[in-house]
Structure 1
């Protein structure tokens, strides 16, 4: 993968290519697979994403500790029958993000994209956009391949691990990758893809990782819902012509630096932030099966 936003833009302009073309070429050179074989694998991923995003919309999932019970179903019903301030489309997208989080809680089949804790963002973005714009299969493939390409830049300069970089590295990265995918699927430019990804990380820079009892339920589920919203507004801003003054690769470097500066208690240890509240400590003690000293 090319190293900087500038290199990506220059290459795509010179060769008349898209970000997904770079991903296909690089993967082909490593694996020896044809484009058709790679796209078939992408279809398998999309199928799992669709199933997880839809599974709990019409049923109320229950959890052991009651932290995220039935959120997908409640939100979906509100999208259909309520009067959401953000509109039914965005509310339904949040419900889809909740659904994948609930499937993950039940040990169901998900795509950790890029992590289990942020796994609801891309499926919700992908399926909500598919429903709204009636995207064909190749468009969805190109979106997911763009998602992968942006992720390669994140992996190069920072991390996906909440234990290393906080939730900005999980839900922030997923939002950025999804924002670029949405721009690609909507027919935006490569430059707009990169601006959308930058804006999404800027919006979530510094977010801590503080799951109660170390479980990626609370507050992770809310951050998946807000993460898909972040991806969508970032995509819209980029397509409106709004730009990120700091290039994408520099934004990711900053995210990595911020993550390393975070106290350990705020990096997925289940000790600080919401995990350190009296309620959080009580749930942790129940989960561990013992009273902490």
Structure 2
């Protein structure tokens, strides 16, 4: 029977006992639990990564403006900024996260990893990591399985949805998936991979979901960029031997506890936080007016 991904400690124990790499139990899970062939899984992982790369490229080259007016080519602006405060690689990481998420907000094709609202995080981190270290696609595909295993455990013990656990559950989970994937790709051991996940959750804990006008645009897009940065920094800390102190399973439990106690208005309802500011309410009214279809007057009765 395949590993069911109830917690990280069981995943770590399984790999220690079998000598398997972290991605292998996830592959076995997909084969047994979902009834898929190994060839099918690898083919679809490859396709998913192609879509991720295409989303990044589309956002950096096409016109990314949404109907609401809140999305306006942020990725290209950061990529081409004349004044920089970041290294070239870090600047590109941020630009790619913005770009891929803008593609989602402009109704383009993305990979929900784990959700469409967090669709800029894994694409930006993995493409940037691959460029930095010249990693083969196969290693990236394996890391996507590792990321999927991380998501399975978070989903079981907390949530992946902003409507259930706030943005900490959505961009937070994606960042945790990304940080674990990064450490795996760079040869980190199981403990380091899970430390990266734990540190990331600690950094993202408590983040509310407060989309302006109910659209997954503001602040969602910029949060994808900051989450990608947190994923990179958490991976660096884990690889350097920084101790997360709180075990990863307990971090996930804290994520679930905070999500449950969070007020409803902070869970994708557009009733609190940034969505309840005066400017946001102005935007909301404009968006609602734009979305109303003006019907022609009905002819009067003779």
Is the 1:60–1:72 contact (alpha carbons within 8 Å) kept by the matching residues of 2? Answer: no
Equivalent residues of 1:168, 1:206 under 8 A apart:
yes
Deviation (angstroms), 1:31? 3.2
Residue aligning to 1:225: 225
TM-superposed CA distance for 1:133, in Å, is 1.1
> Residue by residue, what CA displacement relative to the aligned partner does 1:32-53 show, whole Å, maximum 9, x if unpaired?
3332221111001101101001
Q: Which residue in 1 is equivalent to 2:155?
A: 155
Q: How many residues align?
A: 287
Q: Counterpart in 1 of 2:15? A: 12
Residue aligning to 2:71: 68
| Deviation per residue, 1:162-194 (Å, 9 max, x gap) | 111100000000000000000111111111111
Q: Distance in 2 between matches of 1:33 and 1:265?
A: 40
Moved more, 210-219 or 10-19: 10-19
Aligned position for 2:116: 116
Partner SS state of residue 56, structure 1: helix
Tell me if structure 2 keeps the 8 A contact 1:98–1:225. yes
Deviations 1:196-227 (A, max 9, x none): 01100100100000010110100001100001
Distance 1:54 1:197 in 2: 27
Q: Is the 8 A contact 1:60 1:71 kept in 2?
A: no
Looking at structure 1, the residues matched to 53 and 215 of structure 2 have their Cα atoms a distance apart, in angstroms, of 23
1:129 partnered with 2:129: yes
Contact 1:177 1:197 in 2 (8 A): yes
Counterpart-to-counterpart distance in 1, 2:186 and 2:83: 27
Residue 94 (structure 1) aligns with: 94
1:38 aligns with 2:56: no
The residue correspondences of 1:164-203 to structure 2 (distance < 5 A) are 164-203=164-203
Structure 1 residue ranges without an equivalent (≥5): none
SS in 2 for 1:187: coil
Runs of 4+ residues deviating >6 angstroms: none
The answer to whether the Cα contact below 8 Å between 1:53 and 1:99 also exists between their aligned partners in 2 is: yes
- 1:209 is matched with 209
**What's the offset of the Cα at 1:149?**
0.6
Task: Please name the residue that 2:28 is paired with.
Answer: 25
RMSD over equivalenced CA pairs, Å: 1.4
Cα deviation for residue 65 of structure 1 reads: 2.8
Deviation string 1:120-170 (CA, Å, 9 cap, x unpaired) is 000001111111111111101011111101001101101111111100000
Contact 2:176 2:196 in 1 (8 A): yes
Q: Distance in 2 between matches of 1:83 and 1:237?
A: 28
The residue matched to 2:14 in structure 1 has which SS? Answer: helix
- Secondary structure of residue in 1 paired with 2:132: helix
Bigger Rg, which one: 2
How far is 1:70 from its partner? 1.2
Contact 2:5-2:149 within 8 A present in 1 as well: no
Using structure 1 for the length normalisation, give the TM-score: 0.94
Q: Deviations over 1:59-88 (max 9, x none)?
A: 44222233231101011112xxx4533311
